[in-house]
Amino acid sequence: MKAHCVFVVCVLQRDTMAAEGEPADLVKVLHLLVLSFCWGMQVWVSFIAGIVLVRQVSRHTFGLVQSKLFPVYFYCLLGSNVVSLAVHAVYHPCDLLDWHGSAQMLLYFAALLTAGLNARWLGPAATAVMFQMREVEKEHGLGDQIGLGSQSEAYAKLREQDPKYKACKGAFGRYHGLSNLCNLIGFICTTANLIYTALNLSTI
């Protein structure tokens, strides 16, 4: 009997602690707004704005716009993911985490890591190499044509004739490819977290 009473008291204490840790409505709204903002920004920049721009402006104009847009984009992602991870961590302490909470925590952390890599390393590196390529292309009358596929033969010839340009092109391809991969991973993580949040609107 005594053991049974102790068990009941422990359960009640645990339930009370969980109830006291439930987020307020304001926190839920903030969490959902930040997560939605992050996802919408990723969709717009990754799948709409870039595709429209590359078909409507010259290669060099496209590169210039992206060089101004991407730092803001990456740091907005970084800030949004910091807020989302912090809110999730506060209301899901390690001793109360189930596998759902652990998986969501991992997704938030992965999104934060990929945004940080793009903001601090991959984005700036790709932009720096892009401007080096831009100077060489200007000297050969390239870069003012609309569409990335225009004058492909002239660009191929320039790569063959200029080893420095060829090296820059290879470096840009690596940085840009890694940046796109990180962006895609971050988008998948944000999408998964948004879906999970939508299916569990009573909590976060």
Question: d(Cα 18, Cα 8) in Å, to the nearest integer?
Answer: 15
pLDDT at 95 (0 to 100): 61
168-177 burial: b if 16+ Cβ within 10 Å, else e = bbebbeebbe
pLDDT at 67 (0 to 100): 96
pLDDT at 97 (0 to 100): 65
In a domain, 23, yes or no: no
What is the DSSP code (8-state) at residue 90?
Answer: H
Report the phi/psi class of residue 92: left, alpha or beta, with left for phi > 0 and alpha for psi in -120 to 50: beta
pLDDT at 204 (0 to 100): 63
In a domain, 26, yes or no: no
Question: d(Cα 73, Cα 84) in Å, to the nearest integer?
Answer: 16
User: How many Cβ atoms from other residues are within 10 Å of residue 26's Cβ?
Assistant: 8
Residue 55: its H or E element: helix 50-56
In a domain, 18, yes or no: no
Q: Tell me the pLDDT of the chain (204 aa) as tens digits.
A: 444 443 333 433 343 334 345 778 888 889 999 999 999 999 999 999 989 998 899 999 999 999 999 999 999 999 999 999 999 888 877 666 677 778 888 999 999 999 999 999 999 999 999 999 999 999 988 988 887 777 788 888 999 999 999 999 999 999 999 999 999 999 999 999 999 888 887 766
Host domain of residue 184: 31-199
pTM of the model: 0.83
Helices 123-139, 59-91: axis angle to 10 degrees equals 180
In a domain, 55, yes or no: yes
In a domain, 3, yes or no: no
Domain count within the chain: 1
Lookup result for tokens 């940046």: 179
pLDDT at 14 (0 to 100): 40
Cβ distance 81 to 115 under 8 Å?
yes
In a domain, 191, yes or no: yes
What is the DSSP code (8-state) at residue 24?
Answer: P
Lookup result for tokens 């391809």: 173
